[in-house]
């Protein structure tokens, strides 16, 4: 949290006797801990109404009676109130300490910075200290549960996996719904991937349109601004951090034993009128739990060293780190090397030049972990992992999945390696033309390369597990992204009261992407040293493509504040994108916001009570979204439609459009109206922030699945929908302040309540379908419901008897044991009219709870996160009993096997005559969860213990991650799809050393 | 100082000027539609794209090429692998309008229609050799007719689309089956003047005989017996076609575009272009390593079709050529029926590669075998049917006998004195065994209007398996007037903003 350093510069001399002095003029200057003057500070002689405020140089003059016993009361928003006995002095210098609220902190906003107290938009911040004192493996993960309105979802638990971030719900559903990630001013295409958390100074989240409008067409889903550490003048600071973790899978999906499996397979056949493959299932025993075979104890280790410092005119910060993870699936590992150097040089007065360069290299070496997981969930328990001779055990009998890859074959017999390189570089020059007028020009590049090598050896282990000839696929791609920013800013203060801030700028960005894939097979052997294309002999195939887009923008910002009391900000961005046709290319994105610091008003100031700070904010802005592919408006020809003719079978390339284009697409626009209250009590110890937002996205670009009459599989983007996201963000925090040196604590909670609703579909569309049909769960988007809401039949129970079927509404081909569906329209027939909405796809409530305590050298922190209201589909491998021998989920042990056995889990039957597999709430389950995400205990050896060693700080900690999750979700993890690479439960051992 | 401000602004202005044209980017690596359909090469490519739709025409997963499950699964001849829910429901007639295959087939049909529509709209504008242009257009008419006939056969009534549609024009109500038939006839009358033969480089393209054969099929559906007879007469009397001596060589990958082939889908393995034949892996016995892919057994002969083969005075040799029975030796490997459990497996188009036919060694284990949509044996049987319906039953018998007399089959000739009904029964039998697993029989049953009666008959093997008492001897749930056609896919109705109405009974 915020470090509180108390420095009292003034020596106060107390004189023990009273004498009457003539009236005097008391003069003084009030500064913050960095020695910078504080303006507008209230100075009052205690017990009187005699007071004044400081000017813009922090100076004040006050007439005093000359009494040596008088005491000055100094108060300012964001600082701890201070009482200063005057004694006989006439010239007093006072340093004020900031409160825990950090209102004086400078916050990075787009293309500049602002003081937290001057902010008028909804902005969340996380300091780097917060990231580095915790054991976190990725930057995205570190944000989880920290900021209201931010949804972080881990996409997978793999050792190099990224997270999905969303700000204030899903504003769109056709185009990309992820926020823009800006690293040191570089608008990235690679997001937070492989950004080393130990590099980070702070992260700002621009949540609403009034703050994000400066990013115009790309700000609609919020903006994540990452600032890496820069050098500070002074002694070289060296920090070393390291951790090691032991990882286990958080939860294995319960599966059936071989006996139950055999009975299930028998049911599948006999209920379909076929012979049972297992004569005596009871003899099958317990069998293999394939998850035990493919999961193992994994580990993660991280080492990072950073140095920063330098002289005022030449500052530097350097970080190096190495991360290595052995995944919890056998034969999966990932390692990453990061390097960063940031420099700031002031060669001539008024000129500042700097660079930020970060390089990362991530490398994964795997079998196919996801395939191994998918297969482990369907593979027969009555197959042994290995035969006695050490070869793989293979399903080769009736009643087993004979065409499927054995999980261990998927895990071991694939030699996949992926190498990602990422360079983020930025150089800037800043020139102060006259005082307050600065011109800053910067050039940034991002260069991402991906290099994948996928070798499948030739092998023959038996049915479904043979590969006739070894195959090598080489996939490479690279993204080059460059941008130029030219920004002119002017800051001026008039009459001590009016502060203005102007910004105008021009930016241009261009991104190219190219991929090349090559394939060959016919290797004579599988040896490592032969796994190159030239060693193969057959079936040469190559693919490649190249895309480019560009964006040109003009931007402006105007800030005005009156005495820190009335605040006003306006942003504008004009974007021109190559993704659109010329006449729809330009988009204008303005925003306006205002703030009022009520605690600066005298009429409130007089009756403050425990209230120490109160600010109201309102804002409105318009944003866009252009992340819809590169040339969606152009109809292109697919020239890969082959056929052969002739006696020698000449292959000819045919060509036709295979996707429909829509030349009339426009920008998708999001307008946000928001209001917020920030209220602090008890000298800012207790802090509340409440925000209400109403975010409306119109002209949403959606790929609408058109009627198949189009004859085209690829459907075009259309501006067809309007969506509303509204809700509250509520943050409360209590910190006990720094008075007790031995004990400090901080507890906080944030809660986001989001309501997502489609308000309109254009063009006479009733619904937008996704997925759906049979053997899958349908989602649809329609007016009055959330985006991609699950849709289907509603289960009433399970038919117990033929009699019950005859007395129920007509449900074709139902037999006892089949799911009984509800006749929603009461017409006596179960048909398509009986479908309804089954649940939301997005969380309605997101909660984060954080607490930390420091007692003497011990520290303890706890973080809890939770999501409520989200649903997901379990018609997935292992769960679905659609195929004969591929259902292993333990729920089937409780299936219907006769009247009275189950009223929830249906029978298993081949061919599924009742269509139990139809989209229904049997397959749609809640993903609500509450999780103890992190508990950490640390001990700081700083102080006497290590004072002779040259080490200034030494902290050891133990942390547990994902220690417990409370959920009814039957998949691996409620944050993930049912069968995705699960998250890990990890115990970390860490050390942080400062030199 | 002012200079500097001026300089800064000039810099900004400079960028604006230099970068504006950088926004005019074009898609790289693909031709935009406005630049296509200009040259003779473009015309050729547009037609290839139409033929391309025939590969894997039967199912949503186009990799599964070289079979037409619809024609056999909806009858009593073949049953799907127990794992295929959608196919099992189609097989037993328990399907509902959300059936994935019903949905997938609908799309593939309209994809075929779209490709041909755009070719028919764009090729006429291309400046090229007029003779070639005319031929290409006729080929396209042929392909459109084939797809539209399939649409009419399967769904009965459906939207008639004869031009490319924009985003806003996709909401079209259904036309009647007769209206679809009329369009098929129009297209085929255009196409029947296609060349009779092609040079070596172009063998495999649609011919005049192909167009006439499809036209005859259409006329049989319409019960226009005389018209059908005329068209088939043309094909037969051309003298270009005949039966291959070896029945099995039609299906083992050793013959291509032979004299027996009226029209076949051209396929090739090892191209990486997804134009190979998947039927080997699709059909070969599940769980036995006959072929590189092991065999998935998605498509299994039933006892009912086995019962159909004659056994007196000798067993019909076509049984052994078409179906694996337990203990059969296939190129050195014995069929043990480890997993299928039915005792039978499909043999047509199962290729191990040992006979020299090409097969890929890795997924998807495609072969180069072509898939025949129409062959001369069927022409003879269609001709027999037309003659019989025209009252020329004894003539009809001689054409059935031609099929039975193939040297490798050599079944005894039928007597010329059979009644019209007996001849019809003989044709029904002969089509069922000669064309087994070639995607014909279920459409035949519907065309003859006897599908319900046939499937519900107590003679059907499926209706006699007593293992599931719930069926009460009625395995097939065929309902007359409903199951004669498939339902319009539910998702298409949902997407149609009310313009599509479900077929009766669904």
Residue A771 has pLDDT above 60, yes or no: no
Which chain A residue has the Cα nearest residue B5? A433
CA distance B250 to chain A (A): 16
Q: Give the end of a domain, one of B339, B369, B399.
A: B369
Residue numbers in B near A813 (CB within 8 A): 94, 477
Q: What is the distance between the alpha carbons of residues A918 and A882, in angstroms, rounded to a whole number?
A: 11
For an interface test with A, the pick among B10, B38, B287 (most A C-beta atoms closer than 10 Å) comes out as B287
Which chain A residue has the Cα nearest residue B493? A707
For an interface test with A, the pick among B491, B497, B504, B506 (most A C-beta atoms closer than 10 Å) comes out as B491
Q: Give the end of a domain, one of B338, B369, B400.
A: B369
Whether residue A717 is contained in a domain is answered as no
Q: Residue A4 — pLDDT band, cuts 50, 70, 90?
A: very low
Q: What are phi and psi of A577, to 5 degrees?
A: -115, 140
Q: Is A425 in contact with A357 (CB distance < 8 Å)?
A: yes
Q: What is the distance between the alpha carbons of residues B500 and B174, in angstroms, rounded to a whole number?
A: 7
Q: What is the distance between the alpha carbons of residues A830 and A778, in angstroms, rounded to a whole number?
A: 17
A31: domain CATH number is 2.60.40.1120
Query: Do B489 and A773 count as a contact with CB atoms less than 8 A apart?
Result: yes
Q: Residue A21 — pLDDT band, cuts 50, 70, 90?
A: low
Contact map slice: B 52-91 vs A, CB within 8 A: 52, 54-55, 82-83, 85-86, 88-89, 91
% of chain A exceeding 70 in pLDDT: 92
Written as six digits, the tokens of B78 are: 């073949």
Query: Do A519 and B467 count as a contact with CB atoms less than 8 A apart?
Result: no
Residue numbers in B near A275 (CB within 8 A): 341, 467
Contact map slice: A 480-519 vs B, CB within 8 A: 484, 486, 488, 506, 508, 510, 519
Query: Do B15 and A911 count as a contact with CB atoms less than 8 A apart?
Result: no
Residue numbers in B near A634 (CB within 8 A): 26-27, 32-33
Could you give the dihedral angle defined by the CA atoms of residues A625, A630, A631 and A632, in that order, rounded to the nearest 10 degrees? -50
Whether residue B135 is contained in a domain is answered as yes
Q: What is the distance between the alpha carbons of residues A583 and A665, in angstroms, rounded to a whole number?
A: 11
* pLDDT digit string, tens, across residues B261-304: 999 999 999 888 889 999 998 888 876 777 777 788 888 999 99
Summarize the confidence of residues A596-611 as an average pLDDT: 79
Range of the domain at A164: 106-236
Contact map slice: B 9-28 vs A, CB within 8 A: 9, 11-12, 15-16, 19-20, 22-28
Summarize the confidence of residues B245-263 as an average pLDDT: 95
Can you give the pLDDT at residue B29? 65
Q: What is the distance between the alpha carbons of residues A71 and A63, in angstroms, rounded to a whole number?
A: 13
Q: What is the distance between the alpha carbons of residues A360 and A747, in angstroms, rounded to a whole number?
A: 35
A415-434 and A351-366 beta bridge pairing: antiparallel
Written as six digits, the tokens of A554 are: 């003009």
For an interface test with A, the pick among B80, B167, B284 (most A C-beta atoms closer than 10 Å) comes out as B167
Whether residue A193 is contained in a domain is answered as yes
Could you give the dihedral angle defined by the CA atoms of residues A831, A834, A840 and A844, in that order, rounded to the nearest 10 degrees? -170
Can you give the pLDDT at residue A458? 92
Whether residue A213 is contained in a domain is answered as yes
Whether residue A172 is contained in a domain is answered as yes
Same domain, A176 and A201: yes
Q: Give the end of a domain, one of B323, B340, B369.
A: B369
Summarize the confidence of residues B2-28 as an average pLDDT: 60
Summarize the confidence of residues A959-980 as an average pLDDT: 91
Helical ranges in A377-508 per DSSP H: 407-412
Which chain A residue has the Cα nearest residue B29? A545
Whether residue A872 is contained in a domain is answered as no
Cα of A770 vs its chain's centroid, Å: 24
Nearest CB to B25; choose among A550, A654, A661: A550
- Interface check A886 vs B, CB under 8 A: yes
Q: Residue A171 — pLDDT band, cuts 50, 70, 90?
A: low
Kindly report the average pLDDT of chain A as a whole number. Answer: 86
Residue A131 has pLDDT above 80, yes or no: no
Q: Between residues B117 and B4, which one has the greater pLDDT? A: B117
Q: What is the distance between the alpha carbons of residues A653 and A572, in angstroms, rounded to a whole number?
A: 49
Cα of A972 vs its chain's centroid, Å: 20
Residue A6 has pLDDT above 80, yes or no: no
At residue A32's C-alpha, the angle toward residues A27 and A37, to 5°, is 50
For an interface test with B, the pick among A537, A641, A835 (most B C-beta atoms closer than 10 Å) comes out as A641
Residue B370, classified by CB atoms within 10 Å of its CB into exposed (0-12), middle (13-18) or buried (19+), is buried
Range of the domain at B345: 267-369
Q: Is A856 in contact with A742 (CB distance < 8 Å)?
A: yes
pTM of the model: 0.82
Residue B461 has pLDDT above 80, yes or no: yes
Can you give the pLDDT at residue A15? 39
Whether residue A195 is contained in a domain is answered as yes
From A403-407, A504-508, B326-330, the region with the lowest mean pLDDT: B326-330
Residue B13 has pLDDT above 70, yes or no: no
Number of structural domains found in chain A:
2
Residue numbers in B near A812 (CB within 8 A): 94, 96
Give the residue from A281, A291, A210, A202 showing the smallest Cα distance to A250.
Answer: A291
Same domain, B186 and B277: no
Nearest CB to B100; choose among A508, A552, A774: A774
Query: Residues near B126 by Cβ (< 8 Å), separated by ≥ 6?
Result: B37, B38, B39, B40, B42, B43, B133
Can you give the pLDDT at residue B415? 94
Residue numbers in B near A519 (CB within 8 A): 272
Number of structural domains found in chain B:
2
Summarize the confidence of residues B307-332 as an average pLDDT: 92
Query: Do B294 and A484 count as a contact with CB atoms less than 8 A apart?
Result: no
Residue B224 has pLDDT above 90, yes or no: yes
Can you give the pLDDT at residue B177? 97
Residue A105 has pLDDT above 80, yes or no: no
Nearest CB to A655; choose among B45, B91, B362: B45
Q: Residue A173 — pLDDT band, cuts 50, 70, 90?
A: low
Give the residue from A73, A15, A80 showing the smallest Cα distance to A48.
Answer: A73
Whether residue B262 is contained in a domain is answered as no
Q: Residue B196 — pLDDT band, cuts 50, 70, 90?
A: very high
CB burial of A475-489 (b: ≥16 within 10 Å; e: otherwise) equals bbbebbbbbbbbbbb
Contact map slice: B 203-262 vs A, CB within 8 A: 203-205, 256-257
Q: Give the end of a domain, one of A95, A124, A143.
A: A95
Nearest CB to A646; choose among B8, B119, B200: B200
Q: Is A744 in contact with A860 (CB distance < 8 Å)?
A: no
Can you give the pLDDT at residue A7? 32
Whether residue A142 is contained in a domain is answered as yes
Q: Residue A26 — pLDDT band, cuts 50, 70, 90?
A: confident
Summarize the confidence of residues A146-151 as an average pLDDT: 74
Summarize the confidence of residues A448-459 as an average pLDDT: 94
Residue with the two structure tokens 């719900």: A169
Q: What is the distance between the alpha carbons of residues A403 and B29, in angstroms, rounded to a whole number?
A: 38
Same domain, A86 and A134: no
Summarize the confidence of residues B418-442 as an average pLDDT: 96
Can you give the pLDDT at residue B501? 94
Q: Residue B56 — pLDDT band, cuts 50, 70, 90?
A: confident
Q: How far is CA A75 from CA A43, A54, A61, A71, A78, in A?
A: 7, 11, 15, 13, 9
Q: Residue B460 — pLDDT band, cuts 50, 70, 90?
A: very high
Query: Do B286 and A402 count as a contact with CB atoms less than 8 A apart?
Result: yes
Query: Residues near A28 by Cβ (< 8 Å), separated by ≥ 6?
Result: A43, A59, A60, A62, A72, A91, A92, A93, A94
% of chain A exceeding 90 in pLDDT: 44
Residue B483 has pLDDT above 90, yes or no: yes
Same domain, A114 and A66: no
Query: Do B98 and A915 count as a contact with CB atoms less than 8 A apart?
Result: yes
Q: What is the distance between the alpha carbons of residues B197 and A604, in angstroms, rounded to a whole number?
A: 98
Can you give the pLDDT at residue A10? 31
Same domain, A221 and A138: yes
Residue with the two structure tokens 């794992």: B83
Can you give the pLDDT at residue A798? 97
Query: Residues near B473 by Cβ (< 8 Å), separated by ≥ 6?
Result: B458, B463, B464
**ipTM value greater than 0.90:** yes
Give the residue from B84, B89, B88 showing the smallest Cα distance to B64.
Answer: B84
Summarize the confidence of residues A779-787 as an average pLDDT: 85
Q: What is the distance between the alpha carbons of residues A264 and A8, in angstroms, rounded to a whole number?
A: 78
Q: Residue A416 — pLDDT band, cuts 50, 70, 90?
A: very high
Same domain, A152 and A56: no
From A661-675, A768-782, B96-110, B223-237, the region with the lowest mean pLDDT: A768-782
Same domain, B151 and B278: no
Same domain, A110 and A91: no
Query: Do A912 and B89 count as a contact with CB atoms less than 8 A apart?
Result: yes
Same domain, A132 and A197: yes
Same domain, A73 and A131: no
- 3-state secondary structure string across A614-680: EEEEEEEEEEEECCCCCCCCCCEEEEEEEEEECCCCEEEEEEEECECCCCCCCCEEEEEEEEEEEEE
Q: Residue A303 — pLDDT band, cuts 50, 70, 90?
A: very high
Could you give the dihedral angle defined by the CA atoms of residues B100, B102, B103 and B109, in that order, rounded to the nearest 10 degrees? 140
Q: Give the end of a domain, one of A183, A208, A236.
A: A236
Same domain, A43 and A156: no
Residue A738 has pLDDT above 90, yes or no: no
Summarize the confidence of residues A106-132 as an average pLDDT: 82
Contact map slice: B 333-352 vs A, CB within 8 A: 338-339, 341
Kindly report the average pLDDT of chain B as a whole number. Answer: 90
Q: Between residues A607 and A813, which one has the greater pLDDT? A: A813
Same domain, B170 and B280: no
* pLDDT digit string, tens, across residues B344-370: 999 999 998 888 888 888 888 899 999
Rama region for A262: left / alpha / beta (φ>0; ψ in -120 to 50; rest): alpha
Q: Residue B6 — pLDDT band, cuts 50, 70, 90?
A: low
A184: domain CATH number is 2.170.130.10
Residue B64 has pLDDT above 80, yes or no: no
Q: What is the distance between the alpha carbons of residues B36 and B43, in angstroms, rounded to a whole number?
A: 9
Same domain, B40 and B131: yes
Which chain A residue has the Cα nearest residue B258? A647
Same domain, A28 and A86: yes
Residue A672 has pLDDT above 80, yes or no: yes
Can you give the pLDDT at residue A16? 40
Instruction: Give chain A's end-to-end CA distance (angstroms, integer).
Output: 21
* pLDDT digit string, tens, across residues A878-910: 998 888 889 999 999 999 999 999 999 999 998
Nearest CB to A646; choose among B48, B52, B203: B203
Q: Residue A133 — pLDDT band, cuts 50, 70, 90?
A: low
Residue B126 has pLDDT above 80, yes or no: yes
Query: Do A651 and B117 count as a contact with CB atoms less than 8 A apart?
Result: no
Same domain, B60 and B156: yes
Can you give the pLDDT at residue A742? 84
Q: Give the end of a domain, one of A236, A270, A305.
A: A236
Query: Do B114 and A506 count as a contact with CB atoms less than 8 A apart?
Result: no
Can you give the pLDDT at residue A533? 93
Residue A288 has pLDDT above 90, yes or no: yes
From A170-179, A582-591, A734-743, the region with the lowest mean pLDDT: A170-179
| Three-state secondary-structure class, residue B101 | helix
Query: Do B4 and A439 count as a contact with CB atoms less than 8 A apart?
Result: yes
Can you give the pLDDT at residue A3? 37
Q: Is B388 in contact with B318 (CB distance < 8 Å)?
A: no
Query: Do A773 and B490 count as a contact with CB atoms less than 8 A apart?
Result: yes
Q: Residue A650 — pLDDT band, cuts 50, 70, 90?
A: very high
Q: Residue A275 — pLDDT band, cuts 50, 70, 90?
A: confident
Name the β-bridge partners of A452. Answer: A418, A475
Which chain B residue has the Cα nearest residue A777? B98
- Interface check B459 vs A, CB under 8 A: no
Residue A5 has pLDDT above 90, yes or no: no
Residue numbers in A near B148 (CB within 8 A): none
Residue numbers in B near A651 (CB within 8 A): 268, 271, 273, 275
Instruction: Give chain B's end-to-end CA distance (angstroms, integer).
Output: 82
Can you give the pLDDT at residue B21? 65
Can you give the pLDDT at residue A18? 43
* pLDDT digit string, tens, across residues B131-184: 999 999 999 999 999 999 999 999 999 999 999 998 888 899 999 999 999 999
- Interface check B263 vs A, CB under 8 A: no
* pLDDT digit string, tens, across residues B86-113: 898 899 998 989 888 999 999 999 999 9
For an interface test with A, the pick among B13, B25, B460 (most A C-beta atoms closer than 10 Å) comes out as B25
Can you give the pLDDT at residue A14? 37
Query: Do B8 and A439 count as a contact with CB atoms less than 8 A apart?
Result: yes
B92: domain CATH number is 1.25.40.390
Same domain, A62 and A158: no
Same domain, A205 and A86: no
Can you give the pLDDT at residue B195? 97
Query: Do B339 and A712 count as a contact with CB atoms less than 8 A apart?
Result: no
Whether residue B417 is contained in a domain is answered as no
Query: Do A269 and B270 count as a contact with CB atoms less than 8 A apart?
Result: no
Query: Residues near A983 by Cβ (< 8 Å), separated by ≥ 6?
Result: A154, A157, A249, A250, A962, A972, A973, A975, A976
């Amino acid at each position: 949290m915020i470090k509180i350093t108390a420095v009292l510069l003034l020596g106060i001399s107390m004189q023990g006797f009273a004498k009457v002095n003539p009236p005097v003029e008391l003069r003084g200057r009030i500064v913050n801990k960095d020695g910078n003057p504080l303006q507008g500070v209230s100075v009052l002689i205690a017990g009187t109404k005699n007071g004044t405020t400081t000017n813009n140089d922090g100076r004040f003059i006050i007439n005093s009676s000359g009494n040596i016993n008088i005491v000055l009361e100094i108060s300012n928003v964001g600082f701890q109130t201070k009482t200063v006995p005057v004694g006989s002095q006439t010239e007093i210098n006072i340093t004020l300490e900031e409160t825990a609220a950090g209102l004086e902190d400078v916050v990075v906003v787009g293309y500049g910075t602002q003081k937290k107290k001057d902010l008028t938009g909804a902005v969340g911040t996380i300091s780097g200290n917060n990231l580095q004192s915790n054991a976190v493996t990725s930057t995205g993960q570190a944000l989880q549960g920290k900021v209201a309105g931010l949804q972080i979802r881990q996409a997978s638990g793999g050792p190099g996996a990224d997270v999905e971030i969303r700000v204030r719900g899903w504003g769109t559903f056709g185009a990309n719904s992820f926020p823009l990630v800006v690293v040191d001013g570089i608008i990235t295409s690679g997001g937070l991937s492989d950004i080393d958390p130990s590099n980070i100074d702070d992260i700002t989240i621009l949540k609403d349109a009034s703050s994000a409008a400066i990013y115009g067409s790309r700000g609609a889903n919020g903006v994540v601004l990452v600032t890496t550490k820069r050098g500070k003048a002074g002694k070289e600071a060296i920090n070393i951090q390291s951790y090691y973790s032991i990882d286990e899978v958080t939860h294995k999906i319960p599966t059936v034993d071989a006996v139950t499996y055999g009975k299930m397979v028998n049911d599948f056949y006999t209920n379909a009128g076929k012979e049972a493959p297992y004569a005596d299932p009871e003899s099958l025993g317990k069998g293999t739990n394939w998850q035990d075979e493919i999961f193992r104890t994994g580990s993660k280790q991280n080492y990072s060293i950073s140095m920063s410092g330098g002289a005022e005119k030449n500052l530097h910060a350097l970080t190096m780190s190495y991360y290595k993870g052995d995944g919890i699936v056998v034969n999966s590992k990932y390692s990453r090397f990061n390097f960063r150097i940031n420099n700031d040089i002031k060669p001539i007065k008024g000129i500042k030049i700097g660079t930020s360069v970060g390089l990362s290299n991530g490398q994964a070496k795997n079998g196919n972990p996801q395939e191994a997981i998918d297969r482990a969930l369907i593979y027969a328990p009555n197959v042994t992992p290995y035969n006695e001779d050490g070869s793989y055990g293979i399903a080769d009998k009736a009643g087993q999945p004979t065409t499927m890859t054995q999980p261990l074959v998927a895990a071991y017999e694939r030699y996949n390696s992926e190498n990602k390189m990422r360079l983020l570089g930025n150089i800037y020059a800043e020139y102060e033309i006259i005082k307050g007028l600065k011109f800053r020009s910067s050039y940034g590049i991002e260069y991402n390369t991906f290099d994948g090598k996928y070798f499948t050896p030739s092998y023959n282990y038996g049915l479904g597990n043979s590969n006739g000839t070894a195959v090598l696929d080489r996939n490479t791609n690279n993204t080059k992204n460059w941008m130029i920013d030219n920004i002119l800013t002017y800051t001026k203060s008039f009459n001590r009261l009016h502060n203005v801030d102007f910004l105008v700028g021009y930016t241009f960005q261009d991104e190219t992407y190219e991929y090349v894939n090559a394939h060959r097979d016919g290797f004579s052997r599988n040896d490592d040293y032969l796994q190159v294309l030239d060693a193969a002999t057959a079936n040469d195939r190559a693919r490649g493509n190249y895309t480019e887009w560009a964006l040109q923008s003009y931007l402006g910002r105007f800030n005005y504040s009156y005495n820190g009391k009335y605040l006003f900000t306006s942003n504008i961005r004009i974007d021109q994108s190559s993704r659109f046709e010329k006449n729809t290319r330009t988009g204008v994105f303005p925003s306006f916001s205002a703030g009022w610091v009520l605690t600066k008003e005298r009429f409130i100031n007089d009756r403050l009570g425990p209230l120490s700070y109160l600010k109201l904010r309102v804002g409105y802005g318009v944003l866009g979204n252009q992340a819809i592919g590169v040339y969606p408006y152009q109809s292109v020809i697919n020239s890969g439609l082959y056929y052969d003719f002739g006696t020698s079978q000449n292959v000819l390339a045919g060509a036709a459009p295979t996707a429909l284009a829509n030349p009339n697409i426009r920008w998708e626009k999001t307008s946000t109206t928001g209001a917020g209250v920030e209220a602090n009590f008890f000298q800012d110890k207790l802090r509340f922030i409440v925000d209400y937002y109403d975010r409306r996205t119109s002209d949403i670009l959606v790929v609408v699945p058109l009627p198949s009459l189009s004859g085209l599989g690829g459907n075009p983007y259309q501006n067809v929908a309007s969506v509303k996201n509204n809700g509250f963000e509520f943050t409360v925090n209590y910190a006990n302040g720094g008075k007790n040196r031995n004990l400090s604590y901080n507890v906080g909670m944030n809660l986001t309540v989001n309501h997502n609703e489609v308000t309109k579909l254009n063009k006479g569309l009733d619904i937008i379908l996704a997925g759906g049909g049979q053997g899958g769960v349908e989602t649809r988007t329609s007016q009055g419901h959330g985006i991609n809401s699950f849709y289907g039949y509603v289960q009433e129970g399970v038919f117990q008897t033929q009699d019950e079927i005859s007395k129920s509404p007509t449900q074709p081909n139902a037999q006892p044991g089949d799911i009984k569906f509800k006749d929603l329209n009461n017409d006596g027939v179960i048909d398509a009219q009986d479908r309804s909405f089954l649940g939301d796809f997005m969380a309605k409530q997101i909660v984060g709870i954080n607490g930390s305590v420091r007692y003497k050298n011990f520290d303890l922190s706890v973080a809890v996160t939770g999501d409520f209201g989200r649903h997901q589909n379990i018609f997935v491998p292992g769960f679905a009993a659609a195929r004969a021998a591929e259902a292993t989920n333990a729920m089937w042990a409780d299936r219907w096997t006769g009247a009275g056995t189950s009223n929830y889990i249906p029978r298993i039957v081949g061919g599924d005559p009742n269509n139990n597999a139809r989209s229904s709430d049997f397959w749609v389950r809640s993903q609500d969860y509450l999780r103890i995400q992190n508990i950490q205990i640390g001990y700081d050896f700083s102080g006497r213990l290590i004072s002779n060693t040259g080490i200034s700080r030494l902290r050891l900690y133990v942390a547990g991650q994902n220690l417990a999750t409370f959920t009814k979700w039957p998949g691996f993890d409620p944050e993930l799809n049912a069968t995705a690479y699960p998250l890990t439960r990890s115990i970390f051992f860490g050390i942080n050393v400062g030199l | 100082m002012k200079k500097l401000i001026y300089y800064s602004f000039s810099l900004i202005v400079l960028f604006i000027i230099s970068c504006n044209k950088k926004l005019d980017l074009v898609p790289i690596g693909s031709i935009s539609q406005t630049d296509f359909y200009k040259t003779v090469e473009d015309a050729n490519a547009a037609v290839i794209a139409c033929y391309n739709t025939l590969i894997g025409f039967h199912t949503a997963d186009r990799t599964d090429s070289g079979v037409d499950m619809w024609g056999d699964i909806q009858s009593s001849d073949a049953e799907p692998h127990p794992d295929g829910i959608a196919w099992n429901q189609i097989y037993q007639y328990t399907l509902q309008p959300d059936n994935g295959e019903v949905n997938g087939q609908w799309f593939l049909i309209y994809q075929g229609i779209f490709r041909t529509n755009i070719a028919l709209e764009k090729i006429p504008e291309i400046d090229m050799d007029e003779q070639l242009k005319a031929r290409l257009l006729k080929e396209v008419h042929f392909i459109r007719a084939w797809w539209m006939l399939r649409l009419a056969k399967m769904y009965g009534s459906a939207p008639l689309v004869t031009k490319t549609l924009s985003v806003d024009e996709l909401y079209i109500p259904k036309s009647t089956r007769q209206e679809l038939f009329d369009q098929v006839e129009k297209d085929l009358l255009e196409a029947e003047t296609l060349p009779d033969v092609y040079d070596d480089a172009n063998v495999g393209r649609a011919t005049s005989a192909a167009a006439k054969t499809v036209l005859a099929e259409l006329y049989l559906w319409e019960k226009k017996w005389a018209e059908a007879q005329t068209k088939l007469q043309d094909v037969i009397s051309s003298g270009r076609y005949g039966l291959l001596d070896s029945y099995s060589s039609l299906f083992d990958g050793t013959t291509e575009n032979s004299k027996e082939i009226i029209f076949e889908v051209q396929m090739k393995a090892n191209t990486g272009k997804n134009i190979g034949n998947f039927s080997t892996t699709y059909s070969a016995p599940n769980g036995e390593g006959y072929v590189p892919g092991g065999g998935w057994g998605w498509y299994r002969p039933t006892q009912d079709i086995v019962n159909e083969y004659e056994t007196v005075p000798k067993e019909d040799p076509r049984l052994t050529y078409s179906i694996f029975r337990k203990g059969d030796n296939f190129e050195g490997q014995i069929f043990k029926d480890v997993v299928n459990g039915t005792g039978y497996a499909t043999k047509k188009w199962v290729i191990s590669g040992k006979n020299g036919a090409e097969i890929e060694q890795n997924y998807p284990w495609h072969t180069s075998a072509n898939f025949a949509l129409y062959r001369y044996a069927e022409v003879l049987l269609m001709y027999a049917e037309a003659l019989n319906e025209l009252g020329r039953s004894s003539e009809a018998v001689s054409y059935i006998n031609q099929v039975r007399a193939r040297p490798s089959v050599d079944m005894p000739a039928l007597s010329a004195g059979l009644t019209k009904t007996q001849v019809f029964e003989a044709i029904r039998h002969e089509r069922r065994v000669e064309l087994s697993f070639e995607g014909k029989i279920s459409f035949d049953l519907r065309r003859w209007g006897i599908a319900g009666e046939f499937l519900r008959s107590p003679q059907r093997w499926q209706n006699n398996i007593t293992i599931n008492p719930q069926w009460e001897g009625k395995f097939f749930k065929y309902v007359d007037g409903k199951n004669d056609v498939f339902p319009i896919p539910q998702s298409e109705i949902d997407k149609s903003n009310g313009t599509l109405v479900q077929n009766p009974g669904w």
